[in-house]
Amino acid sequence: MQIQRVLRSIASSGLRAAASPRTAGALGARIPRAAYSSAFPAVPQLGRFQVPAVDNEPMYNYAPGSPERRKLQEALVEMRSQMPFEVPCIVNGEKIFTKDTLNQPLPFDHKTTLASFHNADKNLVEKAIEGALKAKPAWEAMPYNDRAAIFLKAADLLAHKYRYKVMAATMLGQGKNAWQAEIDAAAELADFWRFNTQYATDIYSQQPTKNAPLTWNRMEYRALEGFVVAYSPFNFTAIGGNLVGAPVLMGNVCIWKPSPTGLYSSYLVYEILKEAGLPDGVIQFVPGDAHVVTDATFDHPEFAGFHFTGSTHVFKHLWQRIGNNINTYKSYPRIVGETGGKNMHFLHKSADAKHAALQTVRSAFEYNGQKCSACSRVYVPDNLWEEYKTELVAQTKQIKQGPVDDFTNFMSSVINKQSFDKIKGYLSDIASGKTPNSSILVGGKCDDSVGYTIQPTVVLATDPKAKTMVDELFGPVVTVYVYPADKYEEYLEIADKTSAYALTCGLFAQDREAVIVGSNKLRNAAGNFYINDKSTGAVVGQQAFGGGRASGTNDKAGSSLNLLRWVSPRTIKESFVPITGVQYPSNLKE
């Protein structure tokens, strides 16, 4: 508490803690004499700090009889015995129960409620903005090593103390099986928080390499002037933690609107950050109607940035809203968004057909096809079709589907009725013959009597521009088109132009020349390009994630590129010796 008071005093005196690369916490502004005796000694600079070496969080396998499987099963039983939970809004550290509530059901058992949550109204969102702006000076002034320590501690709390609780919330609330929850809610989120501290250190280390005689040049990486808004999706608990964590680590404050279908796990993420030492008001947790939150935040002059993951349609609408308000804002808001994808697997005639089929099943049907990187269209050469089809159909038929508590289930259900109805509509049109040039090869059944259950489905298209080759369904449906093996380059070009999206792509070929040709032809078709691997599974620190075209701004979550979007650099030149005149030598007479 004492250091918080000191930092607020520093901030109110107009001081800014320099985000020095290796001297984290060095004060970068001249300290007024009155503040020198009380403020400066309270934050002594006694070393050049380097964050601990980071590595990917080790992942557990949850094999039968393993300790981690037992602990996760116990966490699921405990959570079921305690639900439904009640989730408040949290503004300035205060839990606020507005009484305007909605429920978050289990997607595979939609009559059962995981949590009820309170929605913020416009007045509460405005209060959250005001509180965040008041918290910002002290937060930005906090030495970087202290900000980083909060996120490093949060990562350790998640990985150890709260691993199974957050995983259980992700499984029950978002319909993930144990492995999908592990790679998301435990590993990826911890990786985001840890690796970002190293990326931030690297950014702060980027300083001018040249100093003219008698001067010293520096680069200061300021937080944005105002507040950042984050809208997080349901499908990855880790994404929500990074959408707020990335800008906040860089000294910003954030208004967080979590998805109503991923609400409880997001609340646990917030609580972990608070336990790790995040000051009140730095992140304001405001579930609520999107229109209400958008009106209050996007119309505010101090709106400085928007960090978004969700649908392309919503992102485009919100971007347009920001553009229409541009004369309202103090500065040009930073807009960072990752949206949809119509991701492909493309096989060359030299590909390993079985390997490609197995990777397609994983990519298309893991987490019920609800990864933004999931494979939803495949191009197969006719020389490999029979082998590929045999494996694809056989493996798809073996997929077991049901509640996440049963660890033998590979899939559960899609997230809500809206998603269910949309996908069912596409499949019904194909089954009834309303969609020409398409047929269901395997799967296709839909049942929402208990959960929003859609069978893993393979559609065979005889037109490369068939509806399910073009439209994003965001569910367990993959469409295959068989092309003439000797027209590889022609169909690469067709594939490149078929979709508005450009998120991920998997190219399968053993012929190296084919790999080179495919990589070049599809250069702009995906922000994440995989060679002989599936289109899903990006790992923080290994494959930074993001795509272009309609898939987003490609600011690469899990990299320094994303963090750079949340700072506004200031160049500083300091001269040490006074000049003695106005004239330059060139002004002198001969």
C-alpha–C-alpha distance, residues 105 and 502, integer Å: 32
Given the residues 57, 68, 338, 472, the one annotated as active site: 338
pLDDT at 285: 98
Q: Across residues 38-56, what is the average pLDDT?
A: 74
Give me 94's structure tokens: 């205060």
Q: Across residues 436-441, what is the average pLDDT?
A: 96
Window from 23-37, 45-59, 60-74 with minimum mean pLDDT: 23-37
Q: Across residues 251-274, what is the average pLDDT?
A: 98
For residue 113, pLDDT over 50 is answered with yes
Given the residues 68, 89, 188, 372, the one annotated as active site: 372
Give me 75's structure tokens: 């966490």
* Nearest alpha carbon to residue 297 among 133, 141, 137: 133
- Of the pLDDT bands very low, low, confident and very high (cuts 50, 70, 90), residue 18 is very low
418's torsion region: left (phi>0), alpha (psi -120 to 50) or beta?
A: alpha
Q: Across residues 294-313, what is the average pLDDT?
A: 98
Q: What is the DSSP string of 471-484?
A: S---SSEEEEEEE-
Express each pLDDT in 543-589 by its tens digit.
999 999 999 999 999 999 999 999 999 999 999 999 999 999 999 99
Express each pLDDT in 329-356 by its tens digit.
999 999 999 999 999 999 999 999 999 9
pLDDT at 6: 43
Going by DSSP bridges, is the β-strand pair 101-106/24-27 parallel, antiparallel, or unpaired?
unpaired
Written as one letter, the residue type at 106 is L
For residue 239, pLDDT over 70 is answered with yes
Pair 308, 555: CB distance under 8 Å: no
Q: What is the DSSP string of 530-563?
A: EESS-S----TTTS-B--EETTB----BSSHHHH
Window from 7-16, 173-182, 350-359, 426-435 with minimum mean pLDDT: 7-16
Cis peptide before 301 (omega within 30 of 0): no
Say whether pTM exceeds 0.85.
Answer: yes
Express each pLDDT in 466-509 by its tens digit.
999 999 999 999 999 999 999 999 999 999 999 999 999 999 99
- Of the pLDDT bands very low, low, confident and very high (cuts 50, 70, 90), residue 45 is low
338 is catalytic: yes
Pair 70, 178: CB distance under 8 Å: no
In angstroms, the Cα distances linking 584 to 61, 215, 580, 588 are 72, 18, 11, 7
Give me 563's structure tokens: 């963090």
pLDDT over 70 percentage in the chain: 92
The angle formed by the CA atoms of residues 491, 497 and 502, to the nearest 5 degrees, is: 110
Q: What are phi and psi of 373, to 5 degrees?
A: -95, 0
C-alpha–C-alpha distance, residues 422 and 474, integer Å: 9
505 is catalytic: no
Q: Across residues 198-215, what is the average pLDDT?
A: 97
For residue 542, pLDDT over 60 is answered with yes
